Amino acid sequence: MIRLLKIELRKIATYRAFWLITGLYAFLLAFLIFGIPGLIDYIAEKTPNNTQIRIFKAIVFNFPDIWQNITFVASLRYFIKIIIGIIVIITITNEFTFQTIRLNIVNGMSRSDFILSKLQFIILLSLASTLIIFLSGLYLGLMYSSAKEFSLIFSKSIFLLAYFIEISTYLIFALFIGILIKKTGFSIIVFMLYLLIEPIIDYKIPDKYCPYLPLNAMNSLIRTPNTSLIKIKSPGFNYDFQEFLAISDVAICLGYAALFIGLIYLILKKRNL
């Protein structure tokens, strides 16, 4: 298992573009999370009656709700996670461009091992992304939250797991697109186009089927930010906020991950490399 990951890491060790884009993603993700307090303060300064905005800041970064809030922002469909999806597409399409996949197979690596090495790489990227969110959230929560009891700090950290599952499935989807198309530019175009096409499909089909579309299934894990304090401060506020991580949502998301992995295996099994 570790041997396959080491092989994968050796491939990208000298690939400068990968490290630049990955570094950009990590910087933007951390900057996004750390920039929220400053943005709220800026808005408050420009607003005459800023009491509600100050309250909102306390809500956003209060333990344990902060985990749901920041993972919700990080997992937004048309936002920063697109960058990490493109990273995966570039790494897999380069395998076909430079024929390293053929070299690996010739040297004795099976197609299953090749897929496993890519999945390990995706898990590593997903863990790194989740770790950035965890460290950022922990720092901001300790700085701004009024609740600092250990039990409260980690009581909703399940949303970090939800984010990890969501981003891993998203990257497996990107891997599937890259293997299916093989060409870097076309793969990125198809990947981006699908982000626009699915909402159109969502609009056309009956509502009961919408949660089962791939991106909808991924984004259903973390549907809304948490607003428990808003409910306390605003009695009668009846918006349907997400209160917990649903097992059914996790199952559908993991089902898509398994489907994409199966399709990847079938493509590589039948394709002449």
Task: Give the per-residue pLDDT at 51.
Answer: 62
Alpha-carbon distance of 135 to 16, in angstroms, equals 26
CA distances from 194 to 99, 125, 252 (A): 27, 22, 19
Question: What does the alpha-carbon distance between residue 57 and residue 60 come to, in Å, rounded to a whole number?
Answer: 5
What is the pLDDT, as a whole number, of residue 166?
97
pLDDT at 98: 87
Tens of pLDDT, residue by residue, the chain (273 residues): 688 888 888 888 888 889 999 999 999 898 888 877 777 777 767 676 666 666 666 677 888 889 998 999 899 888 899 999 999 999 999 999 888 888 888 788 899 999 999 999 999 999 999 999 999 999 988 888 887 888 888 888 999 999 999 999 999 999 999 999 999 999 999 999 999 999 999 999 998 999 999 999 999 999 888 766 555 555 555 556 777 889 999 999 999 999 999 999 999 998 876
What pLDDT score was predicted for residue 106?
Answer: 78
- Residue boundaries of the structural domains of the chain: 2-270
